[in-house]
Amino acid sequence: MTFTRYAIYYTPPAGADWAEFATQWLGWDMGASTSIPQPQIADLDLASITQVPRKYGLHATLKPPMRLAKGRSLADLQRACTSLAARQAPVVLEGLHLARLGRFLALRVSGDETALGQFAAACVQGLDAFRAPSSEAEQAKRRATGLTPAQDANLVTWGYPFVLDQFRFHVTLTGKLPKADLPAVEATLEAHLIPLLPRPLVIRDFALVGEDSAGRFHLLHRYPLTGSGASAE
């Protein structure tokens, strides 16, 4: 399969109860590269609710999707991922909670995010030599949404506004919902997903993923974090 872009994701362990439910909720299994049946829950139209995040799969972005730079290959990127993972310690977090991001619903980190932010920054900076520069059209599209000076500086330097000091770890679970629909979807996730979430949450690896021509993301390989440091437990 040919991929148009690559990204570095956090993807939860496939065998975890919360990962299984949330993957079914979205309807796309990145690891198996296949659509899967979504659960029938109350009167929710999950196909519509999850239409936007479905193609990305269950994840939190660490390094945003990028085209490979000229002269760089997937094999080069894979070797760099192996090296990066060997320098990074597992990240221990208090846990996750459900949050509203505007009219989207996502899982956000509870407690101190310092080690997580450092880990994400290492992914962004350590692999940036593999990123092809974003086009003027791509930058203009980002700027049209309204960026702060810090976000614009990140866009120019790193190809994406919401990295480094602007990074906010989140696992997106819905598209943009009508305000009237938010409470019902929120209540459903609180009842079915939140009780399954681990405490603490330990990030033990990161995933290299590829985007196919239809915009769907596939898990290519997991890289265990085998380094040592203050973030390891």
Q: Write down the domain spans for the chain.
A: 5-139+170-224
What is residue 221's three-state secondary structure?
Answer: strand
Provide the pLDDT for residue 233. Answer: 36
Using 70 as the pLDDT threshold, list the residues of the chain that sit under it.
Answer: 229-233
Provide the pLDDT for residue 68. Answer: 97
Provide the pLDDT for residue 14. Answer: 84
What is the DSSP code string of 89-136?
Answer: --EEESEEEEEEETTEEEEEEES--HHHHHHHHHHHHHTGGGBPPPPH
Rounded (5°) CA angle 181-186-187: 105
Q: CATH topology for 5-139+170-224?
A: Cyclic Phosphodiesterase; Chain: A, (3.90.1140)
Round to whole Å and give the CA distance between 197 and 187: 15
Helices (H), 103-224: 114-126, 136-143, 149-158, 182-192
Provide the pLDDT for residue 121. Answer: 97
Residue 150's Cα: distance from chain center in Å?
A: 21
Provide the pLDDT for residue 168. Answer: 95
Name the pTM for this structure.
0.94
Give per-residue pLDDT as tens, 189-229.
Answer: 999 999 999 999 999 999 999 999 999 999 999 999 999 85
Provide the pLDDT for residue 229. Answer: 56
Between strands 201-203 and 5-10, the pairing is unpaired
